[in-house]
Structure 1
Amino acid sequence: MGRRPTRRADLLKLYIFGYLHRVRASRRPEAETRRDVKARWLLKRLTPLFETITDFRKDHAEAIVKFRAFVQFCREQSRLRAELLVIDGTKIGVVASRNPRDDAAADQK
């Protein structure tokens, strides 16, 4: 009944995703899991509530501070780079019929 339980590993993925995409507030990552294809793929279509995200940040505040220090250390050592990611937005029409005659009719159009 209800929602699937949210694993800590998934919340950590969401936190890192938000960190990399500059999504800081608790309600924004919740919205990103519904809107952003990358976030939906990363969390396997899991959409945690903002209260869950807030509780995760509150319960693991010490680890998050250490993560930020680790990221700063990597930047100082020139171990992190900013790279450009391009996604092709091509839309392709698809015929979902199982009947081969329908496929031939669609090709004639």
Structure 2
Amino acid sequence: MKEVTKSVDLDHRIPLDDFERLRDAPNSRLQKKSYDIAFEILVEGKKLTAVAAAYGMTRQRVRYLRDKVYSAYLMQPPEGWTYANICAPQEMIDRFVREADEARARYWQSRKSLTIKQEPHE
């Protein structure tokens, strides 16, 4: 029989400074309580079931809030980055896109290593 183990979901973690920037965004439509719930999971590393019990909510609802905030995190540009529409030769754009993709991968990898250093809570 195959042994099944569960690991801490490190893919759904956000560094504190990124979370605060997301929470303070002027276009945020979530309520403070939703951010409080997401904070406990995404920043502090608490388990869905523990947070759901603490707030008297279902695990599914808490997961929905976590996913909503995490999706917003992934959609925001990293600090110091911006969006741009440009007109240039195709080969120049291709080169730029490759470089931007490499920089983006390095950025997210560095952010991921910040969250791994944070200890998960029960």
Task: Assess same fold via TM > 0.5.
Answer: no
Report the TM-score, using the length of structure 2 for normalisation: 0.23
